[in-house]
Amino acid sequence: MDNNHQDYYFCIDHYRNKMRGRPATYDNDAVVLKAQEVFWEKGYSATSLQDLQNATQMGSGSLYNTFRGGKKELFSKALQQRREAFQAFKKELKQSASPMDLIRDFFSSVALADEHTHLKGCIVANTATALAFIDNDLEAEAVNILKDVEKMFTDTIREAQRTGAVTNPADAAVLGRYLITCWNGLNVTRRMHPHKEKLKALIEMQLSILR
Amino acid sequence: MDNNHQDYYFCIDHYRNKMRGRPATYDNDAVVLKAQEVFWEKGYSATSLQDLQNATQMGSGSLYNTFRGGKKELFSKALQQRREAFQAFKKELKQSASPMDLIRDFFSSVALADEHTHLKGCIVANTATALAFIDNDLEAEAVNILKDVEKMFTDTIREAQRTGAVTNPADAAVLGRYLITCWNGLNVTRRMHPHKEKLKALIEMQLSILR
DNA sequence: ATATTTTTGTAATGATCATTACATAATTAA
DNA sequence: TTAATTATGTAATGATCATTACAAAAATAT
């Protein structure tokens, strides 16, 4: 019998090739996405397994069979889903003709979100904020993602300084750290002022430092 | 009998004037301070009443007799303690000959903290971040404190623009909002980089916008 | 003295927590 | 057809959760 297809698909359940056993009824990625939504609003500590069962419509049996690490594994997978969303943006950035403009647009678009989105903030920054003395592993995962975003900022700025799209001559590493700090700050301030005009002016002020 | 002294002291237990009943063994403010330390590290949701009993050395009987609102009242009192610390700074600012320099020094001093302090961040910003979908009252208290700080920034900047200590002619309200956003951002980024030199350069970059 | 009031410590309380056990269902392999 | 395997749903499990009940302690008031 030919089992090689399993290797191509890395055993992702949805594409599994005639494995033995009852087929899964739940789509794994969709379940993690539902979990992500709950975690994003309530945070890791305040989210119960009952919350996750309600959101995913999965029973504890299936949940623990699929995510043997329980709540922690689910949260980690949710974080990785956000990392992938970031990596998609980074890919878009690489193909862009004017990457610095794309980053500016990204910041500007934050102001346009609705109130609920403002109140949610950024799940990665939320995690870095909340879990330092609760769970080192998850906190480190969040910090790593933020550092990756910072690196993307730094690399983009360094190149933009070369082309003249950024005229501020300061160390690109400092400017990159400045931008990730703008992002981190924005995700608290937008809860104080979930108000388009106020946020628009704020973000313009933040970005004015670059040129 | 003369009971008027009670009124002068607003019934603060420590100064109580011959009230009937067993005298309290615990200092109320010290208990709230201990609670504040736990809440600051673990956050509201992840802090158990057992944690609070351990930290304060109080039994649940005394705890609930003193803080009849339980965990929530204790957290609220802890937040108010931070608000008082802020008000003390604001008072100092009012008496200062160069208020803008005092604010600059405040930001600069953040870089000098030790790693543990960096990882704790700001309990007020932490609360605004974590409790939006958990407890509206406590989240609003935190947001109000942040707005007070923002107002202090704005007022100080407006006056500094008049005296020339700030040369950036932008709307003081936007610059004030920019500064509270710097603070909010710093309190996430310092967890990513609990490193004096990196934070020092970052803060200088943040403040460079003012002049 | 005795009644009144307040604080304290301990022992419930019932709810909810994350996790596990297990029988059943649904599929493929032999 | 039957054995093997995997997923599912339900029902425990024991721990921990926030909170309350209550009796004893320690003070003042009468």
CA dist., res. B165 & res. B159, Å (int): 9
Q: pLDDT band at residue A16, thresholds of 50, 70 and 90?
A: low
Comma-separated ranges of CATH 1.10.10.60 domains in chain B? 1-80
**A93-142 residue pLDDT tens:** 999 999 999 999 999 999 999 999 999 999 999 999 999 999 999 999 99
Annotate B10-51 with DSSP letters as a single string.
Answer: TT-GGG--S-SSPPP-S-HHHHHHHHHHHHHHHHHHH--HHH
Q: What is the mean pLDDT of residues B97-122?
A: 98
For A1-81, CATH number out of 1.10.8.60, 1.10.10.60, 3.90.950.20, 1.10.260.40 equals 1.10.10.60
Does residue A2 have a pLDDT over 60?
A: no
- Strand C, CB < 7 A, residues 47-76 of B: 58-62, 65-66
* Type and span of the H or E element at B77: helix B70-95
Q: Identify nearest nucleotide to residue A24 by CA to C1′ distance.
A: D7
CATH topology of domain B1-80: Arc Repressor Mutant, subunit A (1.10.10)
In this complex, is the C-beta atom of B1 within 8 Å of any C-beta atom belonging to chain A?
Answer: no
Q: Is B121 helix (H, G, I), strand (E, B) or coil?
A: coil
pLDDT > 70: percent of chain A = 91
Residues 102-121 of chain B within 7 A of strand C, judged by CB, are: none
Does residue A45 reach within 7 angstroms of strand C, measured from its CB?
no
Nearest to A189 among B43, B175, B177 (CB): B177
pLDDT 10s digits, B154-194: 999 999 999 999 999 999 999 999 999 999 999 999 999 99
Q: Considering only alpha carbons, which residue of chain B is nearest residue A198?
A: B174
What is the least distance, in Å, from the CA of B68 to any CA of chain A? 23
Give residue B92's pLDDT: 98
* More confident position, A168 or A23: A168
pLDDT band at A18 (very low <50, low <70, confident <90, very high): low
Q: Which of residues 34-93 of A touch B (CB under 8 A)?
A: 41-43, 45-46
- Mean pLDDT across A24-48: 96
- Residues contacting residue B43 through CB under 8 Å, at least 6 positions apart: A43, A45, A130, A134, B126, B127, B130
Distance of residue B35 Cα from the nearest chain A Cα, in angstroms: 15
Inform me whether the pLDDT recorded for B83 exceeds 80: yes
The average confidence (pLDDT) of chain A is: 92
Looking at residue A13, its pLDDT comes to 44
Looking at chain A, the domain(s) classified CATH 1.10.10.60 span: 1-81
Closest by CA to A127, choosing from B121, B150, B83, is B121
pLDDT above 90 coverage of chain B, percent = 87
Kindly state whether B135 is in contact with chain A, defined as any CB-CB distance less than 8 angstroms. Answer: no
Q: Read off the pLDDT band of A15 (50, 70, 90).
A: very low
Burial of residue B26 (CB within 10 Å: 0-12, 13-18, 19+) is middle
- At residue B53, does pLDDT exceed 90? yes
φ/ψ of residue A9, rounded to 5: -100, 5
Is A119 near chain B, with CB under 8 Å? yes
How confident is the model over B194-198, as a mean pLDDT? 98
pLDDT above 80 for B6? no
Q: CA-CA distances (angstroms) from residue B82 to B34, B122, B127?
A: 13, 10, 12
